[in-house]
Structure 1
Amino acid sequence: MNTEALASFVKIAELRSLSAAAKLYGLPKSTLSLRIKQLEADLNVALFERSGRNLLLTEEGQTLLVHARQILQSCDTARAAVTEPSDDVAGTLRIGATGEFGTAFYAQMLIVFRRLYPNVDIELTFFSPHVLYAAESLDMLDAVISWDDGEADGETLSTATFALFASQSYIDRMGMPASPADLAEHLGILYRTPRGLQHWRLQKGSAQESILPRSSLIANDFWTIKYFAVAGEGIGYLPHFFTDIECERGHLVPLLPDWTSAERRVSIRVTRPHARSRKMAAFMDVCRRYFSPGFIFVGPRYYVEAIHDPSQQKEGTEP
């Protein structure tokens, strides 16, 4: 059985589209189509059936997908074992993650890894938490990184705390809260979790507060919440690391700095701990170093910049 054909089959099955697979992986559609036809001829079964614009797996295709992922992973492990005597770490590393802070968090860490190990191909896929830990997702991944996933067997990489932030224009308009009680007079930009709206859970020493403020802006994306906060639309409940640049540049201001959330755990879970490859060992080492005290990231960083603030526009002038 041709491993290139199996790899093409997995790509198409995951995207449910031959065209999407060709575009994402930079392969000609004709090549992918030919490989699937050869695979179907070799097995004497139909692997896909069309449903509108999507290609859905047949029962035989679903069975093959499970085995194809295992075969490709075994080939990858064998390749790493063969190259072990050399100084090169190579192969494909498939990382799954919950997508809360993709560019500001996972992408930065992967850039550090890529600069150290350029011969490793990276596939980073974001999932919602309930999909991330499904058996079919874990089968296709080497490791999973997540926030407060509840998985006790994962290794803790770091912890983070949330706090309140707003723009100076919002503070000028609405005032600076002096205590959690003052937040009743303010507007929040709320994050929607799969279980409902996220409360602002704050603590200071033994004192604890759980606040659900008034809000006209709700999103399930922290980048959007940060953008609205920089734009002066309300108060955002965000992690400290996620707002460092905006605070340094004056686009956001910490509110009630003595009140923060409890620490939230960031963990990594290796899906096949008993068959760990050299590339996985290298990745774990980089993850630990990335989160170690004193580590300085020197790659590109994402942040929200307030180039034009409508609240500062003078009356009667053109924008």
Structure 2
Amino acid sequence: MDLNRIQMFAQVVEKGSFTAAAKAMGLTKATVSRKIAELETDSGVQLLYRTTRALKLTEAGSIYYNKIQRILADLQSAEDQLSASQQTIKGNLRIVCPIELGQLFFGRIFARFLEAYPDMTIEAELTNRKVDVIEEGIDILFQVTDINDSRLQSYNILHTAKALMASPDYLARYGTPTSPYDLTNHRAIRLKSTHIDGSWTLFDGKQWIDFEPRAQLTVNNVTLAREAAIEGLGIATVPNLVAQNALSEGLLVQLLDDFPMAQTKVSMSFPRRAYLPQKYRTFIEFFYNAIFAVRQDEILEVPDFITRPTKT
């Protein structure tokens, strides 16, 4: 039995094409196609109908896939159990996080983690795109959005306070809004991304209200929005963490302090498994300890295998 061929067949079914399966496994399309053909020849059964537009399982292929899927899941569980008990922490982690968080915080955390565990490697991607953890083979995903994927184990880590901000020059030219309803007379820098909540939702004392001012500039990057606001283009929604220096230097002014904005959360997700691989557990513990050191009282959720430090 060639386990590689079985795994390739499962990937072809799950990805829907030889090309997508080859990309996911880091192989050539020709290799995957040849191995599936060998599997069919050796078994004497056609597993896939091949057309120019799509692949479709034969009846025998469907029965075979359902059986090997359970076997492969058991193998993955056995590997995870073995990994969970390993003594030496080694391996690779594919981690995805928002651009701004990565630039401001994760570089130092990653460096300290790799210094502490020299047999580990990290592939980090900073992006504001929508990420499918399972399909893309991601180990850990940090994001600033709601979590609605039952395939993942997820934790809310921190609130990300944000506010409307503008430059003193812009306010001198267009005036300072004193209520949310004044925003309809102002210019906006709109933040729009599947990975970032850039909505202008404020509480007017009675209810939450969404505002959509006219925007001459729409971006998918918080830092770019901040810089455009500093130049006086308009009002932008900026997380306080990203705006700290600009606020302290007087380059930006926080607006409508009496009308809070709806807040978002930084979350962490990883594939849901019966046994958590040791490399996952070690990194997550290291990450939480780094956050405990600076924001212990602000942390929202903690995995069961991590102990919150005792307050002194």
What count of residue pairs does the alignment treat as equivalent?
275
Mapped pair 1:149 → 2:147: yes
Residue 46 of structure 1: aligned partner: 47
Change (3 A) 1:74 1:3: farther
Residue 89 of structure 2: aligned partner: 88
CA RMSD of aligned residues (A): 4.9
Q: 5+ unaligned residues in a row in structure 1: which ranges?
A: 296-319
Residue 313 of structure 1: aligned partner: none
Q: Matched residues, percent identical? A: 23
Output the amino acid matched with 1:104. E
Aligned equivalents of 2:24 and 2:239: distance in 1? Answer: 32
Residue 100 of structure 2: aligned partner: 104
Change (3 A) 1:66 1:234: farther
Aligned equivalents of 2:135 and 2:26: distance in 1? Answer: 25
Q: 5+ unaligned residues in a row in structure 2: which ranges?
A: 296-312
Change (3 A) 1:292 1:9: farther
Residue 277 of structure 1: aligned partner: 277
Residue 177 of structure 1: aligned partner: 177
Residue 286 of structure 1: aligned partner: 286
Secondary structure of the equivalent of 2:265? strand
Residue 227 of structure 1: aligned partner: 224
Displacement of 1:271 in angstroms is 4.5
Aligned equivalents of 1:34 and 1:123: distance in 2? Answer: 33
TM-score (norm 1): 0.60
Mapped pair 1:255 → 2:251: no
Secondary structure of the equivalent of 1:149? coil
Displacement of 1:161 in angstroms is 1.4
Residue 266 of structure 1: aligned partner: 266
Residue 35 of structure 1: aligned partner: 35
Change (3 A) 1:292 1:214: same
Residue 310 of structure 1: aligned partner: none
Secondary structure of the equivalent of 1:210? strand
TM-score (norm 2): 0.61
1:178-219 CA-to-partner distances (Å, cap 9, x unmatched) read: 55343232122345688xx96423359x68763414224586
1:216-250 CA-to-partner distances (Å, cap 9, x unmatched) read: 4586x641x65355335432223223445666788
Displacement of 1:285 in angstroms is 0.9
Change (3 A) 1:48 1:75: farther
Is the 8 Å Cα contact of residues 187 and 213 (structure 1) preserved in structure 2? no
Displacement of 1:278 in angstroms is 0.9
1:110-141 CA-to-partner distances (Å, cap 9, x unmatched) read: 87155655535659798859x77xxxx59977
**Mean Cα deviation higher: 273-282 or 241-250:** 241-250
